[in-house]
Amino acid sequence: PPGRKVLIVYAHQEPKSLNGSLKRIAVEELSKQGCSVTVSDLYAMQFEPRATRNDIVGCLHNSEEFNYGVETREAYKRGCLSNDLIEEQKKVQEADLLIFQFPLYWFSMPAIMKGWMDRVLVQGFAHEFPNCYDSGLLKNKLALFSFTTGGSKEMYAKGGISGDIRYLLWPIQHGIMHFCGVKVLAPHICFAPEYVSEEKRKEMLIAWAQRLKTLWKEEPINCSPEWYFK
């Protein structure tokens, strides 16, 4: 709907890739609906994935012994996080929906996107125990993980060699997004695009465009272990 804000966090090196096309379609489709869409193209931005002392500007809270979690929490309170983090947090803060677009690497996100999670979702900004899970600080936001795999759908079935694809989503959907209070829409998965016909890849893009048309009507998944492991 008009006025909704979307942040697409995108991790692929090649604009002509299927991931690039999926990202482009999301931008087009959501803009057409009157949403305002921002893209964080992590490779193009040369986003720093490492959590280091450089993320804190100025003096440390405890210069004797460096504790990243404590230091970033304190720096967030003082407004002393590095600029790249402040920028990303602003985008997250404004977004109604976060879309993460990436190829699956080793059952997980590419390092550059994991680094985005590690650095951007600072304590005090995204979570603050006991304010986590349903009371996480980013509640009232939605997230959607859209990704491509190397393995086929059969490989990622319950009885398949790689196990149910949902097992892999537990740490990223539940352990990160739900932990921060974000509600999660069903993932969008393009299985083994490298091993299918051009025709099939076109169908994958059309299916994504179709889904985006009615995305705002979707109910989030049931954020419980049952969804992942039943």
Give the pLDDT score at 202: 97
Please give the pLDDT value at position 55. Answer: 98
Q: State the pLDDT confidence band at 230, using cuts at 50, 70 and 90.
A: confident
What average pLDDT does the segment 54-66 reach?
96
State which residues form the domain around 49: 5-229
Please report the DSSP string for 38-76 in residue order: EEEETTTTT------GGGB-S--S-SSS--HHHHHHHHH
Q: What does the pLDDT look like over 158-180, one tens digit per residue?
A: 999 999 999 999 999 999 999 99
The structure's pTM equals 0.97
Residue type at 152? Answer: S
The two tokens of residue 221 are: 């998944």
pLDDT band for position 53 (cuts 50, 70, 90):
very high
3-state SS, residue 184: strand
pLDDT at 29: 98
Burial class (CB in 10 A: 0-12, 13-18, 19+), 219: exposed
Give me the pLDDT at residue 2, please. Answer: 81
| Residue 32 host element (H or E) | helix 18-32
Domain count of the fold of the chain: 1
**CA nearest neighbour of 148 among 116, 111, 194:** 194
The percent of residues in the chain predicted with pLDDT above 90, rounded, is 98
Residue 1: its pLDDT value, please? 73
CATH number of the domain within which 180 lies: 3.40.50.360
Per-residue pLDDT band for 223 (boundaries 50, 70, 90) equals confident
Q: Beta partners for 99?
A: 8, 144
N- to C-terminal Cα separation, the chain: 34
How far is the CA of 49 from the CAs of 72, 84, 172, 192, in angstroms?
15, 11, 16, 26
